[in-house]
Structure formats: C-alpha cells, structure tokens
C-alpha cells in the first residue's frame, strides 16, 4: 500500500499543527517493519532550502535509509494557491491514500483522502479571527462541508472536537468521523539541558504554557493567581509562550508585580524543567480542541487547575481541579488553595493512550481500512 503523506505544514515546526504532523509522521515511519506501507512525504521546498527545519532534516535521514520517499513542492501549505496546483502533483504519485493533517483539504485530489480536524476555533471563539473575519469564517465553514463530503475519513483530536464538527456538518457524517488523540511533545522521560539558564526560577510557582489569544483567558489566570496570593499562596506565576498581546495587554495589567514573571518562549528541554519543578499548571481556556499542555502536565504527574472549556475536562487526568468558566473566582479560591496544599492520587495509567505510537497505530489502521474499501 502506498500512502501520500502531506507534510508541508512541518515547515511551521514550532506550531501545534507542525508538531502534530511531524511527530505523527515519524511514529508511522518507525512502524515500517510492522507493515508493508510505502510512504511518500510531500514537503515545502521554500522551507527545505533554508536548512533550519529539524523535521525536514530528520525526514531526509529516513529517506536516506530507504524508509520513505520525499518530494519537494513549491505549493505553500495552508494557502488558497494549493487548491489550484497541488492536485496535479498528488494525482500523479500512484498512491492508495492521501493524508492531509488540516481542515483545508486541497481541491481536486482524486485519491481516497483522510484529514484531521484539530478544533473549531473560528466558530466557537468570538474574536478569534480579527481581520476579514466574515470571509475567513465563511471559508472555514465551506471547507468543513467539503471535507465532510469528500474525505473518506476525518480524524478529530478529541471527542469534544468530533461532536463540535458533527454539530456543524450534520450527524449523517458521523460514520466517517473518528477520534485520534495526540501525543506529547515533551514527557517525563526527557532530560533538560537548555540555553535558557539566564532565567532564575522561583522556588515555588504555578505555570501557564501557551499564547495570549483571547480564548486563553490570560486575565482570568492572572486574577486567579492574585486571589491565591491574597489567600496565602507563597509562590509565583510564570507565563511561558508567545509574548504577543491580542485583546489584552498583559504587561500593563501586571504592572510592577514581581511575582508574575513573563518567561516568553522556551525550548523543549527548558519546558521539561518547568513541568518538573512547578507546583501546578493553570490552564483556563474558554475553549480548546485538545489542550496539549494539560496532557503533558498530566504525564509528569502534576497538579493542574483547568477550566471546563471545550475538551479540557475530557483530556485532563482525574486528579485535575476543574474551575468552570462561569464561576466567580472568589467562590473557588479556598478550594484551589486546599487543592494545591493537598496530596493527590496519581493514576499511573493515565498516559497510556497519549503516546505517538498509540496514535500512529490508529491512523495506520485507518489507512489500511480506507485503501481496502476503495479497492473492493
């Protein structure tokens, strides 16, 4: 069987989509001795030419070992132009299945296609799109309807995302929409050696990992922390991730507070150290399609304060503290402090389904099933 794996979004190697596409790909390629699947991987030539993409560099090693074939194309990922040029390339590759890891499945692909829906942010989060929002939302809705009809199978990264998708496209497509979870980018098995050592960690801290988009509820996170400090918590709040403000100016809001520290973006090794040393993760999103930091913190066996936004209660470990978005913070501060001071029971089996090998097995099985159905 021949799978055409569209890996162009690995060009954006530090995004969640790029990470998902790369980690899943290598988990599939590492299973090459378990099956007879041949892979052709499509990458974006503009990024490959720069030579600084670690996914593309690693992929060439697999190609050199004869595990896959790599094709470079000029067609930019996640673009309107891909709808007019990519099909001519893919349709000539003699594949059995085409895998595309996002919602905007390129037009004109004649191969049986499998795609992935990570979230429905444009529809679920008001203000998520700030420029030409009506046009982009219309395009998003159009593509959801098209893939519901065109794709042979659609993976959603959580049961919540699956339900949200079927609410949008209709329950008649439920038979072709399944769930494929994600694996971690970092885990407790990683070691940390980082260039970010110039930042001195406080002895005690709670941690936020993510960007500052409106749905991330950064103001509520800071307000909760201030209430915890007033209630007796002695640690700091560390904000890790992009420092780009959207609808809320974080720096102006925290002012001169020294106990709210902006760390910015860190490498994976330093993130491991933060997970290992933190008192708890705080993640109060209004909506999430998956919520990778929550899963990663769970794999480290750490406490966490999460919201009930989207998939978070679904993917969080059973020992997480759920703080609903519609609850006034003042009503929960005592409970959160008690939670932080308590001993929680860690379920060692929590992370078994959150591995890339587990994810790859499910995706591989669907490749085989779709190819087999189309050959009947």
Instruction: Quote the CA–CA distance of 213 and 245 in Å, as a whole number.
Output: 7
| pLDDT tops 60 at residue 195 | no
Q: What is the pLDDT of residue 48?
A: 66
| pLDDT tops 80 at residue 348 | yes
Q: What is the pLDDT of residue 372?
A: 81
Burial class (CB in 10 A: 0-12, 13-18, 19+), 245: middle
Mean of pLDDT values over 200-206: 93
Q: What is the pLDDT of residue 199?
A: 66
Contact at 8 Å (CB) between 15 and 50? no
Q: What superfamily would CATH give domain 205-351?
A: Glycogen Phosphorylase B; (3.40.50.2000)
Q: For residue range 46-62, what is the model confidence (pLDDT) as tens digits?
A: 876 677 889 999 999 99
Q: What is the pLDDT of residue 85?
A: 93
Q: What is the pLDDT of residue 32?
A: 84
Q: For residue range 123-150, what is the model confidence (pLDDT) as tens digits?
A: 998 878 777 788 999 999 999 999 999 9
Mean of pLDDT values over 75-103: 95
| pLDDT tops 80 at residue 187 | no
Q: What is the pLDDT of residue 130?
A: 73
Q: For residue range 230-249, what is the model confidence (pLDDT) as tens digits?
A: 999 999 999 999 999 988 99
2-183+355-375 in CATH: which number? 3.40.50.2000
Alpha helices, DSSP H, located in the chain = 16-29, 45-48, 54-64, 82-90, 121-124, 133-150, 159-169, 218-230, 250-254, 268-277, 292-299, 312-315, 333-341, 356-375
Q: What is the pLDDT of residue 193?
A: 55
Confidence of residue 66 (pLDDT cuts 50, 70, 90): very high
User: What is the residue extent of each domain of the chain?
Assistant: 2-183+355-375, 205-351
Instruction: Quote the CA–CA distance of 216 and 230 in Å, as a whole number.
Output: 23
Q: For residue range 154-163, what is the model confidence (pLDDT) as tens digits?
A: 999 999 999 9
CB burial of 192-212 (b: ≥16 within 10 Å; e: otherwise) equals bebebeeeebeeebbbbbbeb
Mean pLDDT of the chain: 92
């Amino acid at each position: 069987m021949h799978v055409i794996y569209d890996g162009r979004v690995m060009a954006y190697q530090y995004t969640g989509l790029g990470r998902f596409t790369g980690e899943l790909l290598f988990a599939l390629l590492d299973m090459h001795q378990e099956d007879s699947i041949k892979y052709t991987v499509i990458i974006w030539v503009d990024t490959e030419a720069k030579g600084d993409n670690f996914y593309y560099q690693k992929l060439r090693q697999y190609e050199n070992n004869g595990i896959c074939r790599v094709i470079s194309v000029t067609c930019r990922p996640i673009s309107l132009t891909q709808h007019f040029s990519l099909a001519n390339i893919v349709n000539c590759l003699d594949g059995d299945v085409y895998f595309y890891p996002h919602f905007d499945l390129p037009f004109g692909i004649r191969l049986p296609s499998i795609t992935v829906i990570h979230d429905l942010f444009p529809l679920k989060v008001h203000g998520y799109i700030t420029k030409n929002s009506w046009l982009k939302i219309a395009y998003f809705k159009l593509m959801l309807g098209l893939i519901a009809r065109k794709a042979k199978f659609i993976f959603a990264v959580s049961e919540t995302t699956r339900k949200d998708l079927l609410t949008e496209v209709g329950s008649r497509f439920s038979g072709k929409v399944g769930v494929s979870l994600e694996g971690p980018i970092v885990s407790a098995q990683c070691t940390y050696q980082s260039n970010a050592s110039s930042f001195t960690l406080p002895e005690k801290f709670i941690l936020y990992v993510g960007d500052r988009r409106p749905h991330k509820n950064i103001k509520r996170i800071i307000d909760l922390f201030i209430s915890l400090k007033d209630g007796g918590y002695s640690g700091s709040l560390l904000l890790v991730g992009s420092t780009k403000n959207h609808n809320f100016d974080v720096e102006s809001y925290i002012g001169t507070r020294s106990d709210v520290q902006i760390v910015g973006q860190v490498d994976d090794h330093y993130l491991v150290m933060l997970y290992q040393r933190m008192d708890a993760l705080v993640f109060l999103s209004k909506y999430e399609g998956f919520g990778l930091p929550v899963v990663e913190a769970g794999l480290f066996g750490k406490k966490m304060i999460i919201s009930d936004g989207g998939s978070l209660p679904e993917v969080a470990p059973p020992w997480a503290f759920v703080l609903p978005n519609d609850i006034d913070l003042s009503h929960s501060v005592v409970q959160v402090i008690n939670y932080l001071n308590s001993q929680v029971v860690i379920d060692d089996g929590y992370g078994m389904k959150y591995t890339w090998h587990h994810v790859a097995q499910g995706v591989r099985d669907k490749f085989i099933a779709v190819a087999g159905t189309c050959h009947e």
